[in-house]
């Protein structure tokens, strides 16, 4: 039996664990019942390196039980009227609202982002539930004019079936929420494999969802959970019973996942790496630039897929922007600390591996000619804290500039004009998010046009991070091409049928073909 660490249980600061009904014994698999027969995993607090809890992961048999339970639940779930499914998702949103503070605190404790961001992440799940409820009353097909007399041509959408979701550590609840709320409304069931380092968030979330399902007399295996390692991920990728696999993570692993899913002609939704740039044109509002850039570069300790990695500044305002950015960073450095502390602005990196990657990237940038303008060091003797870092002096096409390090490191580049800046924005393999700061309407339309940014998310006078749930989220090129959250992303969770009904006594062929 595996118990939560005593330093948490005995500290009033962590009483929220009991509010979430996290018990002293926690299993990492839910198939309608809590179980787990695999290896033990340890949840580590990034703030102090201490063990939060030990969890029993799932093994191959646990995975199989989850799939079978989900398929059984699908038979009833998919047959419910769409508005009825929406009503249950509405209740899930309300249940999350009731637990928003303790669940947000758990995100901060286990992932490391500051509390406003932890709570904001739960709010994102609440918002997407509200959005999905609206979809439950508005999803529709189409009636298309038929060229044949006495014929009706229709389009109808039906559920796909069992959906797999592999989420990443940096958004341990929101990404699952994007997928699950919409997939559930569409009539799918979901099997979730969270990041191995954030098991408690997933357990607490499924606790909330399963109770709502049970209160409505619904098989709680509509939403199953299988914590585990790469073996569980491989099962999801190769299993033909998984109709769509949504994967959020690195480009390297995402490529492997995509290939495996494609081998079996499955569907995949990939949200992979980003190497996002903010372009500061000569006519930009510098006050807006500085405010936006600080959060975009250093927020979440640089661990958002939409974090700004490159700051491309027009040569006329380069010195001013750099000087003011360094001054702003100097105010952050004194507010690095425990993410659960309301005074903290910058929490830790997520793991010791992240810290090692930070140090390696700093060293590589210096070898390639980079100069540290600010930061570049570790902070404190406990936890995984680093300084937000600004690096200048590198060429726009330096190898380290074209790679993504999940840490608060930004490269500043000097451009001579907007056309050059746009070309630099587009030259990296990734294509997630991008921003232009300008007051010129002509520049705006050049930026959003066919020869402007090649990213999936294109912003003007706002930073690269902080997307709204109403718009489709995702990127192009090595970012994967998938879309989650708003707009028409729901279509990925359903299959489309083109239906022709002949209600006449004749059998005319299309295109006027005669075969008599």
Q: What b/e sequence results for 383-392 when a residue is b if at least 16 CB atoms lie within 10 Å of its CB, and e otherwise?
A: bbbbbbbbbb
**SS3 call for 468:** coil
Strand order in the sheet with 409-415: 371-374, 389-392, 409-415, 308-314, 276-280, 433-437, 457-460
* CA–CA gap between residue 353 and residue 307 (Å, rounded): 19
DSSP tag of 27: B
DSSP tag of 381: S
- Map tokens 């393999």 to a residue: 429
**SS3 call for 103:** helix
Evaluate whether 344 touches 443 at the Cβ level (below 8 Å): no
Q: List the catalytic residues.
A: 271, 305
How crowded is residue 341: how many other Cβ atoms within 10 Å of its Cβ?
A: 14
* CA–CA gap between residue 312 and residue 368 (Å, rounded): 18
* CA–CA gap between residue 258 and residue 244 (Å, rounded): 11
Structure tokens at 271: 């949200």
Q: How far apart are the first and last CA of the chain?
A: 75
């Amino acid at each position: 039996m595996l118990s939560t660490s005593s330093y948490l249980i005995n500290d009033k600061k962590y009483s929220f664990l009991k509010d979430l009904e996290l018990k002293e014994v926690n299993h990492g698999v839910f198939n309608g019942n809590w179980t787990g027969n695999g290896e033990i995993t340890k949840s580590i607090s990034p703030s102090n390196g201490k063990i939060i809890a030990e969890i029993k992961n799932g093994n191959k048999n646990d995975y199989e039980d989850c799939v079978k339970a989900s398929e059984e639940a699908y038979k009833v779930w998919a047959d419910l009227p769409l508005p009825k499914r929406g009503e249950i998702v509405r209740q899930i949103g309300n249940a999350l609202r009731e637990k928003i503070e303790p669940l947000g605190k758990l995100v901060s404790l286990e992932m490391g982002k500051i509390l406003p961001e932890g709570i904001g992440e739960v709010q994102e799940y609440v918002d997407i539930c509200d959005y999905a409820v609206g979809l439950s009353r508005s999803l529709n097909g189409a009636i298309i004019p038929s060229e044949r007399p006495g014929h009706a041509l229709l389009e109808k959408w039906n559920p796909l079936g069992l959906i797999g979701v592999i989420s990443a550590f940096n958004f341990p609840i929101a990404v699952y929420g994007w997928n699950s709320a919409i997939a559930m409304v569409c009539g799918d069931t979901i099997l979730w494999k969270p990041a191995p380092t954030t098991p408690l968030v997933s357990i607490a979330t499924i606790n909330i969802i399963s109770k709502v399902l049970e209160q409505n007399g619904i098989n709680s295996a509509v939403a199953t959970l299988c914590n585990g390692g790469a073996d569980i991920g491989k099962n999801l990728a190769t299993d033909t019973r998984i109709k769509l696999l949504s994967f959020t993570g690195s480009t390297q692993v995402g490529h492997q996942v995509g290939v495996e899913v494609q081998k079996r002609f499955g569907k995949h939704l990939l949200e992979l790496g980003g190497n996002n740039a903010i372009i500061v044109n000569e006519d930009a509002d510098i006050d807006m630039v500085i405010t936006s850039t600080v959060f975009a570069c250093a927020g979440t300790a640089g661990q958002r897929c939409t974090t700004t990695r490159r700051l491309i500044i027009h040569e006329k305002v380069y010195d001013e922007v750099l000087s003011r950015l360094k001054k702003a960073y100097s105010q952050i450095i004194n507010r690095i600390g425990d993410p659960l502390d309301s005074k903290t602005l910058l929490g830790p990196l997520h793991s010791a591996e992240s810290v090692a990657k930070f140090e390696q990237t700093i060293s590589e940038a210096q070898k390639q000619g980079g100069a540290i303008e600010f930061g570049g060091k570790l902070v404190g003797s406990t936890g995984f804290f680093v300084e937000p870092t600004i690096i200048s002096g590198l060429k726009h096409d330096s190898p380290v500039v074209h790679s993504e390090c999940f840490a608060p490191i930004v490269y500043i580049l000097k451009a001579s004009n907007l056309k050059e800046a746009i070309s630099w924005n587009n030259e990296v393999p990734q294509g997630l998010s991008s921003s232009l700061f300008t007051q010129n309407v002509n520049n705006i339309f050049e930026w959003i046009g066919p020869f402007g940014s090649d990213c999936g998310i294109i912003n003007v006078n706002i930073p690269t991070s902080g997307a709204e749930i109403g718009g489709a989220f995702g990127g192009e090129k090595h970012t994967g091409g998938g879309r989650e959250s708003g707009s028409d992303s729901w279509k990925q969770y359903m299959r489309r049928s083109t239906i022709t009904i002949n209600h006449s006594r004749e059998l005319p062929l299309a295109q006027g073909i005669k075969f008599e």
